[in-house]
């Protein structure tokens, strides 16, 4: 099969360029169509016998509904109206146009995820798409201008990585490192705060070559930010478990003497947000605090929690929330 550049040259011959050799004899159109038609494999899912347009990624060809693509994508609408202006190689097969989409930079996997969302999107109301699927939809929908599906996938991903303090849960997302890389490449800054926090509080990512926490994929500057964040989280937690700066003259009050058990300190040493959340739930009267300090200590802990969360913005240069 001819390369994309060769196919483009066939439909957009370069003008004004002198040839030093005799031009090659051009194959008859019928032969070119036959060659293009023979060098492909049908997509196992996206091949509709009554489809009205062919799309090809590498050697995999799809037969889809032209009108549906145009209705959902500004890019496809323009492609079908003025394909010569978008630099997409074209053939004609069985009377239908065949578009080779390699120049778009969209992968077959990403486009498949987008089509599945279009065809079976109702399934996602019962089962949320995984991070890799959402990333694929966003990449394809962004490149090919499918605004509705871009908005859908971005919203779902934002809900999976909320940047609000009270949305932080004890269980970190397992794809935090990939989410950071993805957020950087796609300009989705709103995903960074939670992704960095979840990766920083992961028990161990020293084995950086693992697929579970592939921190080796991070930009060097982001890796430095990650290490700095871990240090700040540890400091914030140690401050939170230390005796608070509460003035109490009540005899017998334990606010200055009570020590948080070492097991608790160890459990949350990289997760001060959840750790402080747990401390705030404690019955401080049972810990020997007076009536005043029973209320004052949880309030102080909340202030520490909010300060810790806000300081992440400064470290990551996220600006004001």
The count of other CB atoms within 10 Å of the CB of residue 188 is 17
Its pTM stands at 0.82
| Helix or strand (DSSP H, E) at 46 | strand 41-47
Task: Say whether pLDDT at 117 is over 70.
Answer: yes
The Cα–Cα gap between 255 and 290 comes to 8
For residue 2, name the pLDDT band (cuts at 50, 70, 90).
Answer: very low
Minimal CA–CA distance to 200: which of 167, 222, 184?
222
Minimal CA–CA distance to 70: which of 60, 61, 78, 59?
78
Residue with tokens 């169509």: 33
Helix/strand/coil for 197: helix
Calculate mean pLDDT across residues 248-277: 95
* Polymer length of the chain: 321
pLDDT, position 204: 62
Q: Which residues pair with 271 in a beta bridge?
A: none
Residue with tokens 């019962």: 126
Domain range summary for the chain, segments of one domain joined by + = 28-104, 241-316
What pLDDT, in 10s, does the model give residues 212-234?
668 888 999 999 999 999 999 99
Judge whether 183 and 154 are in contact, CB under 8 Å.
no
């Amino acid at each position: 099969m001819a390369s994309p550049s060769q196919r483009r040259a066939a439909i957009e011959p370069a003008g004004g360029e002198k040839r030093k050799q005799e031009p090659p004899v051009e194959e008859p159109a019928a032969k070119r169509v036959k060659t293009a038609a023979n060098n492909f494999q049908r997509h196992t899912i996206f091949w509709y016998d009554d489809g009205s347009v062919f799309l090809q990624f590498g050697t995999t060809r799809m037969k889809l509904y032209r009108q549906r693509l145009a209705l959902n994508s500004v890019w496809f609408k323009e492609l079908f109206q003025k394909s010569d202006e978008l630099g997409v190689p074209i053939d004609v097969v069985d009377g239908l146009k065949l578009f080779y989409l390699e120049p778009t930079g969209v992968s077959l996997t990403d486009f498949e995820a987008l089509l599945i969302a279009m065809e079976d999107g109702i399934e996602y109301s019962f089962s949320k798409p995984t991070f890799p699927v959402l990333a694929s939809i966003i990449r394809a929908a962004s490149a090919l201008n499918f605004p509705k599906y871009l908005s859908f996938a971005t919203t779902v991903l934002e809900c999976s990585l909320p940047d609000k303090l009270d949305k932080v849960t004890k269980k970190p997302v397992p794809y935090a490192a990939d989410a950071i890389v993805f957020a950087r490449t796609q300009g989705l800054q709103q995903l960074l705060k939670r992704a960095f926090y979840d990766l920083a509080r992961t028990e161990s990512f020293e084995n950086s070559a693992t697929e579970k926490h592939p921190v080796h994929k991070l930009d060097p500057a982001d890796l430095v930010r990650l290490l700095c964040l871990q240090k700040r989280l540890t400091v914030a937690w140690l401050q939170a478990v230390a005796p608070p700066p509460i003035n109490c003259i009540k005899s017998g009050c334990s606010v200055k003497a009570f020590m948080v058990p070492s097991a608790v300190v160890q459990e949350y040493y990289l997760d001060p947000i959840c750790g402080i959340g747990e401390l705030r739930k404690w019955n401080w009267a049972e810990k020997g605090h007076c009536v005043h300090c029973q209320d004052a200590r949880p309030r102080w802990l909340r202030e520490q929690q909010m300060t810790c969360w806000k300081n992440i913005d400064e470290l990551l240069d996220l600006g004001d929330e």
